[in-house]
Amino acid sequence: MTVFSVNVKWGKEMYPGIELDTAEPPMVFKAQLFALTGVQPHRQKIMLKGATIKDETWNGVKLKDGATVLMMGSKEEDVPVEPTEKTAFVEDMTEAERNTALELPVGIKNLGNTCYLNAVIQCLKTVPELHSSVTEFKPKPPGREGESSSNLLTLAVDSGSLLTLAIQECYRTMDSGKTAVPLVLVNLFRTTFPRFAEQGEQGMYMQQDASECWNELTRLLMQEVPSKDAEKTDKKFASSLIDQYFSGEYSCEWKCIESEEEGVTHNTDKFQQLMCHINQDVKYLHTGLMAKMEEHIDKRSPVLDRDAKYVKKSKISRLPAYLTVVMVRFFYKEKGAVNAKILKDVKFPINLDVYELCTPELQKKLQPIREKYKDMDDRKLEEDKAKRRGKPISEDKKPKTKKLPYSFEDDLGSNNSGYYQLQAVLTHQGRSSSSGHYVSWVRWRGDDWLKCDDDEVTPVTEEEILRLSGGGDWHCAYILLYGPRVLEVLDEDEKQPAAEEVKMETE
Dump the DSSP string for 214-250.
Answer: HHHHHHHHHHHSPPSSGGGS-GGG-S-HHHHHH-EEE
Among 407, 245, 408, 414, which residue's Cα sits nearest to residue 318? 414
Domain count, the chain: 2
Which of 437-458 are b and which e, b meaning 16 or more Cβ less than 10 Å from the residue's Cβ? bbbbbbbbeeeebbbbbbbebe
Reported in sequence order, the residue ranges of 141-204 that DSSP labels E, i.e. its strands, are none
* DSSP 3-state of 121: helix
Task: Examine residue 389 and state whether it is found in any structural domain, yes or no.
Answer: yes
User: Is 26 inside any structural domain?
Assistant: yes
DSSP state of 83: S
For the chain, 507 residues long, the average pLDDT of each consecutive 10-residue run is: 84 85 81 80 84 82 87 69 50 56 83 96 97 91 46 55 94 94 94 92 88 96 94 94 97 95 95 93 94 94 95 97 94 68 92 97 96 90 84 78 94 97 96 84 94 96 95 89 93 53 47
8 A C-beta contact, residue 286 and residue 348: no
Q: What is the pLDDT of residue 239?
A: 94
138 within 8 A of 149, measured Cβ to Cβ: no
DSSP code string of 262-303: SPPEEEEEEES-EEEE--TT--BHHHHHHHTTEEEEEEEETT
pLDDT the model gives residue 20 = 84
Active site (catalytic) residues = 115, 437
Would residue 446 be called left, alpha or beta, if left means φ above 0 and alpha means ψ between -120 and 50 degrees? left
CATH number of the domain encompassing residue 7: 3.10.20.90
* CB neighbours of residue 494 within 10 Å: 10
In the chain the first and final C-alpha atoms are separated, in Å, by 83
Find the radius of gyration of the CA atoms of the chain.
27
**Is 465 among the domain residues?**
yes
Residue 186 lies in a domain: no
Which residues constitute the domain of residue 484?
Answer: 325-507
In a domain, 29, yes or no: yes
Compute the distance between CA of residue 449 and CA of residue 270 in angstroms, rounded to an integer. Answer: 31
Give the integer Cα–Cα distance in Å for 480 and 324.
6
What phi, psi does 214 have (nearest 5°)?
Answer: -55, -45
User: Are the CB atoms for 4 and 65 separated by under 8 Å?
Assistant: yes
122 contact partners, CB below 8 Å, separation of at least 6: 107, 108, 424, 440, 442, 452
Domain boundary among 75, 105, 137: 75
- Prediction pTM value: 0.81
Helix axes 159-175 and 26-37, enclosed angle (nearest 10): 80
What CATH number did the domain enclosing 434 receive?
A: 3.90.70.10
Residue 85 lies in a domain: no
Q: What CA–CA distance (Å, rounded) separates 121 from 181?
A: 13
DSSP string, 113-145: S-HHHHHHHHHHTT-HHHHHHHHT------S-T
Specify the pLDDT at position 136: 94
**Residue 118 placed within a domain:** no
In angstroms, how far is CA 73 from the centroid of its own chain? Answer: 31
Other Cβ atoms closer than 10 A to 12:
5
> Of 35, 53, 75, which residue constitutes the final position of a domain?
75
What is the chain's percent helix, strand, coil content, to nearest 5? 30, 30, 40
230 domain-assigned: no
Question: How many other C-beta atoms lie within 10 A of the C-beta of residue 125?
Answer: 23
Beta strands 274-277 and 476-484 are unpaired
pLDDT at 326: 96
- Which residue among 30, 58, 75 closes a domain? 75
Phi, psi of 42 (to 5 degrees): -70, -10
In contact, 64 and 43? CB cutoff 8 Å: no
Residues constituting the chain: 507
Q: What is the DSSP string of 397-434?
A: TSPPEEEEPSSBTTBTTB-SSSEEEEEEEEEEESSBTT
